[in-house]
């Protein structure tokens, strides 16, 4: 039913794909990968270019020669007429077709694109919670206010554990399972730990979480507990937690699942495919992403770069990264050192997800911004809170860290860096319920200090919708509607 055109020039690989899409007897998940993932990936050091095989990476995923991070690379894709180079037209067709497939793996918005992440020996080892396939929403109110017609939100908070981390976790957890690890671990500002704990227990693995004491949102902590992680709250910030965990994994056989793990980024590149597919493979002009440890912006950059190199799309979108003003090391690095070096900062922001002063993937993120002609800027606490309330008023909601995207877009628009004719996609990274305390404090007027809201008071009050205590009579309830018409 789905035989032409060929997906790969390589006959062996092609045969496997035909079996995947049902031309032959439908395969079990266990035999999907033979030939397809074999030797297709290796790791390349982002700093010195050294190449190693995936199984040879050190436990902290740092290059033995220069200490930089690795990227997954697929050597067969480099040769224009090489047998392992995927066929763009056939892949687009297959990926869309899989949305109606009965095969479990096809229901994942990550593994639906598995030809572009051949990282497993067997796709039967994939640990999936049916992540991805997240909605792309139009933002009509913000679009009108900003004078941009084509403004969308890719809501990664609509993933199984409520954040974008799930797309990366399914990939890296599958590698952990395939390589026989018993324990996995991460340092986290909350979402990685929630996601890791969920995928670990699905995989039958045990998980260790290191989090900064008192600095993560309750919704996220509750998830790690519920999914059964060993959760340690440390008197350290995120950067301190990650440093400590690096020492631990270098001593004990525990698989590190922070975004320094290059397989995380392989999963996290797939929303780029979904975005391109949603626009019928015409990429938007501009993608705006929050920046914390900078894995996500790096991964999305890789996704668009690979699609471009393989001829799936004609160009890359501009990729802009937005940080909180109190946690802006990449903004400073680009402004002061042209992105060539980065000085860690002591991070402070109520957007706790991005309270990171020494981001691991800063070089990769700097490349994504620079090669696409995007920008990197920071936004204040008031700007984040206002933007978050505006996204709530669209009927979507998101967690504070995600709202930096809209706050950043407003600045870019005010500075004339984005034209009204451009198509813009904001990447919303976390669900609104992750940090309900922040939202309630905003609406009660207890979130921001007077200094922080100075000059924006009227705007803030116009967005606040505090709950009211009302007598239990129709008249009292109807009276509460007064002043809210329109």
| Binding residues for ligand F0G (CB under 6 A) | 163, 165, 188-192, 259, 290-296, 353-354, 399, 401-402, 429-430
The minimum distance between CB 155 and ligand F0G, in angstroms, equals: 11
The minimum distance between CB 339 and ligand F0G, in angstroms, equals: 15
The minimum distance between CB 358 and ligand F0G, in angstroms, equals: 12
Between 43 and 196, whose beta carbon lies closer to ligand F0G?
Answer: 196
Between 312 and 425, whose beta carbon lies closer to ligand F0G?
Answer: 425
Token representation of residue 194: 């929630």
Between 33 and 163, whose beta carbon lies closer to ligand F0G?
Answer: 163
Between 107 and 165, whose beta carbon lies closer to ligand F0G?
Answer: 165
Strand bridging mode 70-73 / 42-45: antiparallel
Token representation of residue 34: 């033979």
The minimum distance between CB 61 and ligand F0G, in angstroms, equals: 15
The minimum distance between CB 165 and ligand F0G, in angstroms, equals: 6
The minimum distance between CB 133 and ligand F0G, in angstroms, equals: 19
Cβ burial 342-371 (10 Å sphere, 16+ → b, else e):
beebebebbbbbbbbbbbbbbbbbbbbbee
Between 125 and 159, whose beta carbon lies closer to ligand F0G?
Answer: 159
Rounded distance between C-alpha atoms, residue 436 and residue 70, angstroms: 36
The minimum distance between CB 20 and ligand F0G, in angstroms, equals: 30
Rounded distance between C-alpha atoms, residue 345 and residue 159, angstroms: 31
The minimum distance between CB 291 and ligand F0G, in angstroms, equals: 5
Token look-up 């519920």 returns 226
Between 125 and 189, whose beta carbon lies closer to ligand F0G?
Answer: 189
The minimum distance between CB 317 and ligand F0G, in angstroms, equals: 17
Between 125 and 134, whose beta carbon lies closer to ligand F0G?
Answer: 134
The minimum distance between CB 192 and ligand F0G, in angstroms, equals: 4
Rounded distance between C-alpha atoms, residue 385 and residue 393, angstroms: 12
Between 90 and 321, whose beta carbon lies closer to ligand F0G?
Answer: 321
Between 76 and 262, whose beta carbon lies closer to ligand F0G?
Answer: 262
Between 35 and 359, whose beta carbon lies closer to ligand F0G?
Answer: 359
């Amino acid at each position: 039913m789905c035989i032409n055109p060929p997906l790969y020039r390589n006959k062996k690989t092609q045969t496997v794909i035909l079996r995947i899409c049902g031309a032959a007897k439908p395969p079990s998940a266990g035999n999907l990968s033979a030939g397809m993932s074999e030797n297709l990936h290796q790791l390349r050091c982002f700093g010195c270019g050294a190449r190693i095989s995936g199984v040879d990476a050190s436990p902290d995923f740092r290059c033995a020669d220069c200490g930089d991070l690795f990227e997954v690379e697929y050597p067969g894709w480099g040769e224009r007429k090489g047998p392992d180079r995927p066929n763009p037209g056939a892949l687009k067709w297959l990926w869309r077709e899989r949305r109606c497939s009965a095969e479990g793996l096809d229901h994942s918005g990550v593994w639906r694109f598995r030809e572009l992440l051949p990282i497993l020996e067997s796709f039967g080892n994939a640990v999936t919670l049916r992540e991805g396939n997240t909605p792309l929403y139009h933002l009509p109110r913000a679009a009108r206010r900003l004078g941009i017609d084509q403004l969308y939100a890719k809501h990664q908070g609509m993933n199984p554990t409520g954040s974008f981390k799930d797309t990366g976790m399914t990939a890296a957890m599958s590698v952990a399972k395939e390589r026989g690890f018993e324990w996995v671990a991460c340092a986290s500002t909350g979402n990685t730990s929630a996601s890791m704990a969920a995928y670990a227990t699905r995989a039958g693995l045990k998980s260790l979480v290191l989090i900064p004491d008192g600095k993560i949102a309750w919704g996220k902590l509750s998830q790690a507990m519920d999914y059964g992680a060993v959760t340690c709250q440390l008197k350290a910030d995120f950067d301190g937690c990650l440093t400590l965990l690096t020492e631990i994994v270098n001593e004990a056989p525990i698989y590190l699942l922070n975004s320094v793990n290059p397989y995380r980024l392989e999963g996290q590149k797939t929303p780029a495919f979904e975005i391109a597919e949603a626009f019928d493979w015409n990429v938007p002009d501009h993608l705006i992403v929050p920046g914390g440890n900078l894995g996500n912006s790096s991964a999305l950059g890789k996704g668009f770069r690979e699609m471009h190199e393989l001829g799936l799309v004609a160009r890359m979108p501009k990729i802009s990264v937005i940080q909180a003003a109190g946690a802006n090391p990449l903004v400073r690095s680009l402004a002061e050192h042209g992105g060539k070096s980065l000085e860690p900062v002591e991070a402070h922001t109520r957007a706790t997800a991005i309270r990171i002063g020494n981001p691991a993937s800063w070089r990769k993120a700097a490349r994504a911004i620079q090669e696409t002609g995007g920008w990197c800027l920071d936004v204040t606490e008031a700007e984040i809170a206002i933007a978050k309330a505006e996204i709530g008023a669209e009927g979507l909601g998101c967690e504070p860290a995600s709202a930096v995207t809209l706050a950043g877009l407003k600045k870019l628009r005010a500075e004339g860096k984005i034209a009204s004719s451009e198509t813009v996609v904001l990447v919303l990274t976390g669900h609104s319920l992750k940090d309900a305390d922040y939202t309630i404090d905003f609406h009660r007027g207890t979130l921001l200090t007077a200094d922080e809201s100075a000059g924006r008071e009227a705007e803030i009050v116009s967005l606040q919708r505090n709950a009211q205590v009302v007598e239990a009579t129709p008249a009292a309830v109807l009276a509460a509607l007064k002043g809210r018409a329109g």
